[in-house]
A and B are shown apart, each in its own frame.
Chain A
Amino acid sequence: MSFVVGLLLFVVLAGILDAKLPWPRAREQRRW
Chain B
Amino acid sequence: MDILNALTVIGNFVLIPGLAYGSQLALGALGVTLVYSVLRFSNFAHGEMMSFGAMLSVLVTFWLQSAGIGLGFLPTALIALPVSILGTILLCLLIDRLVYRYYRQTRAPNVTYLIVSIGVMFTIGGLVRFIIGPSDRIFTDGSRFIIKARSFKEMTGLNEGLAIKMTQGVTLATAIVIVIAVFWFLNKTRTGKSMRAYSDNEDLALLSGINPERVVMITWVIAAALAAIAGTLYGLDKSFKPFTFLQLLLPIFAAAIVGGVGSPVGAIAGGFVIAFSELFITFAYKKVLTYLLPESLAPESLMQLLSTEYKIALSFVILVIVLLIRPTGLFSGKTL
Tell whether A pairs with B. Answer: no
